[in-house]
Amino acid sequence: MYQKSAVYYDAIYSFKNYQKEADKIHQLIQQHKRSSGRTLLDVACGTGGHLAFLRQHYEVEGLDVNPDMLKIARPKHPDMRFHQGEMASFNLKRKFDAIICLFSSIGYVKTKQRLHQTIQNMARHLQPGGVLIIEPWFSPEAFIPGTVHGLWVDKPDLKIARINVSLVKDNVSIMDMHHLVGTPNGVEHFVERHEMALFTHEEYIEAFRSANLEVTYEPDGLTGRGLYVGSRLKQIV
């Protein structure tokens, strides 16, 4: 995912208001955090859009599985620390006061077993009193297969049309993203497949609780997809 499109990621998602989203995340952290520190880890950080604003309040670090994303994030934020790792298995051998996983990246774990493994892994990286915030992907009832989606970028030296038709198989949403990209060097077409699990609200709640996190749900969230907020009350070995 995002192998070829990583270089265009910031242009494709330039519509996102990272500052507004970061402000909402900061409010939730302050509301739920009980630890005394101010360290924060962004899991599936992409190119570091949220960290650019969260750094005003926290000692931030980012983690992403995609090395191409990190190649963009590091020059953009040369004084930040970034790690390459998979969200279900990373081990940074330290704990954080807040961990966030936004823009529905959790959907890429694809199975209920890996959802539990991922949340448990993040919980192990939390300080007692720390907070985990996850923005979910769509629920099964909210995702409509057979719908056509399009996104456009219109800049002087960059034109992008990204189009896909939504499909569902075995409770996993499948999106073959067709990119038509024009630059002064020419026009290219490529396809990237994104497969993201359609977990239910109950499955998210169960995964948080199985990781010994007290969980609350914010239905509006950042983009209308909601937010799950888990609080770490006890130390996990």
* pLDDT > 70 in the chain, percent: 98
pLDDT of residue 2: 86
DSSP-derived secondary structure for 121-143? HHHHTEEEEEEEEE-----TTT-
User: Buried (b) or exposed (e) across 105-124, using 16+ Cβ within 10 A?
Assistant: bbbbbbeeebbbbbbbbbbe
Whether 108 and 189 map to the same domain: the answer is no
Domain count, the chain: 2
The pLDDT score that the predictor gives to residue 25 is: 98
Is the same domain home to 177 and 162? yes
> What are the pLDDT digits (tens) for 189-209?
999 999 999 999 999 999 999
Average pLDDT over residues 29-38: 97
| pLDDT recorded at residue 233 | 81
Q: Examine the domain organization and report whether 51 and 125 are in the same domain.
A: yes
Using the CB atoms, write b or e for 207-233: b if 16+ within 10 Å. Answer: bbeebebebeeeeebbeebbbbbbbbe
Given a cut of 70, whether residue 237 has pLDDT beyond it is no
Q: Which two tokens stand for residue 26?
A: 């900061």
Q: Find the farthest-apart pair of alpha carbons in the chain and give their distance in angstroms, rounded.
A: 56
- Residue 154 bridge partners (DSSP): 159
Which residues span the domain enclosing 44? 5-139+198-232
8 Å CB contact between 221 and 129: no
Determine, yes or no, domain membership for 182: yes
Residue 235: its pLDDT value, please? 54
pLDDT in tens, 130-154: 999 999 999 999 999 999 999 999 9
Q: Quick one: pLDDT at residue 127?
A: 97
How crowded is residue 136: how many other Cβ atoms within 10 Å of its Cβ? 25
pLDDT at 212 over 80: yes
The answer for residues whose C-beta is within 8 angstroms of residue 204's C-beta and 6 or more apart is 115, 134, 136, 215, 228
Residues 70, 24 share a domain: yes
pLDDT at 3: 85
Could you tell me if residue 237 is inside a domain? no
Same domain, 117 and 78: yes
